Structures are given as structure tokens and as C-alpha cells.
Amino acid sequence: MNIIAFQAEDHEPTAAELAEIEYEWPLIAAELDLLNAEIACITLGESVSVLDRRRVRRAERRVLAVARDLADDNATRTGSERVAS
């Protein structure tokens, strides 16, 4: 039996990492909604209704819309940083 010593590091996220998580949170929330809708469809099996499928499609569209908005915003942020440099 091989025992590996575990060294706990007191590594807390930096302010920049927390800001990035906060910035990406709308996408994370949209992806969680999509995951929940997909799980509901999987657990229902063959008794999935039209409304359940619509919930999945709506969640997919929301993920795409939020991802697009973040990409546009990110392009704007990096574009303005390049101009300022």
C-alpha cells in the first residue's frame, strides 16, 4: 500500500479570478439550466413531453445567446485595450 502525503495549500482565488468568475456567471447559470432540462428529459425516458423538449431548446438558445454576448463583450474589451496600448 502506497500512501501519498497530502499537503493542503491555503490557496484562495485571487481578486482577478473571482472577477472572471463573476463575469462568466451568466453563462455558467445558463449552462446549469440546460443541464437540468437535459437531466429531466433523460429521467423521463419515453414519457418526455413537447414542453420538456421545448424547455431544452429554450435553454440551448439561452446558452448560445449568453455565450455570444460574452464573446462580443470580450472582443470589445480586448479591442479597447489594444487601442489604449
| DSSP state, residue 2 | -
DSSP 18-60: HHHHHHHHHHHHHHHHHHHHHHHHHHHGGG--HHHHHHHHHHH
Degrees to nearest 5, angle at CA 60 with 56 and 61: 120
Q: Which three cell numbers stand for residue 76?
A: 470589445
What is the distance between the alpha carbons of residues 72 and 70, in angstroms, rounded to a whole number? 5
- Give the angle 33-39-41 at the CA atoms, nearest 5°: 105
Instruction: Write out pLDDT tens, residues 33-81.
Output: 999 999 999 999 999 999 999 999 999 999 999 999 999 998 887 766 5
Tell me the per-residue pLDDT of 5-44, one tens digit each, with 9 for 90 and over. Answer: 656 666 788 999 999 999 999 999 999 999 999 999 999 9
Global confidence as pTM? 0.73
